[in-house]
Amino acid sequence: MTSRSVPEYRVSLPKELVADLAQRAAALPEWRLGDDGLLSPETAARYHGVLAGLPRLAEFSTTCHQLLSAPEGEGFAVLELAELLDATDSEEAGLRAVTALVSLIATPLRAFDRRPLWQPLSTNLAITPMHIDVVNSTLPPDYIAQLCVRPDPRGQVHSLISQVRRAVDRLGYADAELLTHPRYVDRSSFELTGVGEEWQPFPILDGLPPSEGFVRFTANLLADADPADPYIKAARALERELIVGQRRFPLGQGDLLIANQHLCCHGREALGGGQEDVPEDERRLLLQIFLRGQARHVAPPEVVA
Taking only the tens of pLDDT, the chain with its 305 residues reads 544 456 899 999 999 999 999 999 999 999 999 999 999 999 999 999 999 999 999 999 999 999 999 878 899 999 999 999 999 999 999 999 999 999 999 999 999 999 999 999 866 667 889 999 999 999 999 999 999 999 888 777 899 999 999 999 999 999 999 999 999 999 887 789 999 999 999 999 999 999 999 999 999 999 889 999 999 999 999 999 999 999 999 999 999 999 999 999 999 988 777 777 888 788 888 999 999 996 554 444 555 55
Q: By C-alpha distance, which of 161, 171, 104, 79 is closest to 128?
A: 161
Can you say how many angstroms the Cα of residue 192 is from the centroid of all Cα atoms in its chain?
A: 17
Alpha-carbon torsion angle 184, 188, 193, 196, nearest 10: 30
Give the number of other Cβ atoms within 10 Å of residue 273's Cβ: 11
Contact assessment for residue 284 and residue 250, using Cβ atoms and an 8 Å cutoff: no
φ, ψ for residue 249 (rounded to 5)?
A: -160, 150
Q: Is the pTM of this model over 0.75?
A: yes
Q: By C-alpha distance, which of 166, 160, 47 is closest to 108?
A: 47
Q: In sequence order, what E strands does 32-106 have?
A: 76-80
d(CA 244, CA 260): 19
Helix (H, G, I), strand (E, B) or coil at 107: strand
d(CA 111, CA 118): 11
